[in-house]
Amino acid sequence: MNLRNRIYREFRDRYGVPSCFPYSVAEVAWSIVKKHKRWHRRPYAKRLMFKMDAANFSLNYSVLSLPFKKGERVLVPLRYGEYQRSFLMDKTLKRGSVTMTESSIIVAFSKEITATEPSGKVGYDLNEKSMVGSDGTKHELSEVARLHTLYGVRRSKFYERHPDDRRLVKKFASSRREKERVSQALHSVSTLIVEKARANKEAIILERLKGIRYAHQKGNGEGKSGRRRIALWPFRQLQSYIEYKARWAGVPVEYVSAAYTSKTCHVCGFINRKLKLTERGWLCPQCGAMLDRDINAAINIERRGKIRCLPITTVVTRAEARGR
């Protein structure tokens, strides 16, 4: 507010724009300062952008109307696909702010969700190749690892050939295309997971990913390339997709400690400290259970979830056979 008050007069006199402009400028500037970490450099806006609160713009299906000088308005026709259209047409959604960049317009929506207690839980174990649920469902993620390897090789070959050419980097070794393809794959997996949880009224239990990179250190049986891939792998990105989609769908998400989830036998609780990362299945020496590495971990993750679920009710139906 302090910043807004300081620039308010200048904005009015110099640009003649309504007071919502200095307000949102101050808000954006403050959020940049708040996020800024490396203070040996001054904070700056990385790209040209514009933001406006819901109270100040109107959106009529495909036309965005923004206030401008002295009662004039700027009308911006929007282009969008089916997915975006479903939000624009939904009258139950509340509009948040609108953000405009050089290439896109982002409209935020919100809605109220009535929280209901889930009737069950499903835990997910994340590894480099797949996301495995405690109910046995498996989502392939090897495509993501494959893309990283593909683009990684492409990039390093490029740098071998053109070590100093900064101009060519943008064209041939940019990671944008890779990021797009990876996030596309992550979007489809996260959508499937959330949709299933919503349909089955389940809560999603995920592991807290603090130490995931430390688990992949020298001497655990993996090669150098394995460690490189794991460091790049966007676990957290997938979790955040699941989290926001779940929130939108009213599906609860809980994070639990990931310690020993794959080394603990879910049947008897025995901890197999000798288990190597390369072992995909193991036989519990204490109870003799045959364990699949990923499903066992997912079951342990599910059990650590403390979220309250509805009691399991067993419906007993009795059919009587009547005879004469």
Interface positions with Zn ion (CB under 5 A): 265, 267-268, 270, 284, 286-287, 289
- Token readout for 148 is 């990283």
Structure tokens at 282: 């193991």
Decide whether 242 or 265 has the Cβ nearer to Zn ion.
265
Q: Angle 150-154-159 (CA atoms, 0-180°, nearest 5)?
A: 150
The distance of closest approach from Cβ of residue 296 to Zn ion in the complex, given in angstroms and rounded to an integer, is 10
Q: In sequence order, what are the residues at sequence separation of 6 or more whose Cβ sits closer than 8 angstroms to the Cβ of residue 142? A: 129, 130
For the CB of residue 282, give the shortest distance to Zn ion in the complex, in Å.
10
Nearer to Zn ion, 168 or 271 (CB): 271
CB of 291 to Zn ion, least distance (A): 8
Shortest distance (Å) from residue 272 CB to Zn ion:
9
Question: Biggest alpha carbon distance in the chain?
Answer: 98
Spell out the alpha helix ranges (H) of 162-234. 166-172, 176-199, 224-232
| C-alpha to C-alpha distance for 122 and 176, rounded to whole angstroms | 33
Which lies closer to Zn ion via its Cβ, residue 242 or residue 291? Answer: 291
Smallest gap from residue 126 Cβ to Zn ion (A): 23
Q: Which is nearer to Zn ion, 153 or 271 (CB)?
A: 271
CA geometry: angle at 152 spanning 243 and 215, to 5°? Answer: 55
Which one, 238 or 284, has the nearer CB to Zn ion? 284
C-alpha 134/C-alpha 56 separation (Å) is: 47
**Is residue 137 within a helix (H) or strand (E), and if so which, with residue range?**
none
Shorter beta-carbon distance to Zn ion: residue 113 or 268? 268
103 vs 110: CA distance, rounded Å: 23
CA angle (56, 57, 63) in 5-degree steps: 170
- Rounded distance between C-alpha atoms, residue 86 and residue 145, angstroms: 33
Task: Tell me the closest approach of the beta carbon of residue 163 to Zn ion, in angstroms.
Answer: 54
Beta carbon nearer to Zn ion, 190 or 296: 296
- In the complex with Zn ion, which residue's Cβ is closer, 136 or 269? 269
Cα–Cα distance for residue pair 126/212, rounded to 1 Å: 10
| For the chain, the helix, strand and coil percentages under 3-state DSSP, each to the nearest 5 | 40, 20, 40
Q: How far is the CB of 261 from Zn ion (least distance, A)?
A: 14
Nearest approach, Cβ of residue 125 and Zn ion (Å): 18
Q: By the 8 A CB rule, do 309 and 118 touch?
A: yes
Strands 202-207 and 105-110 turn out to be unpaired
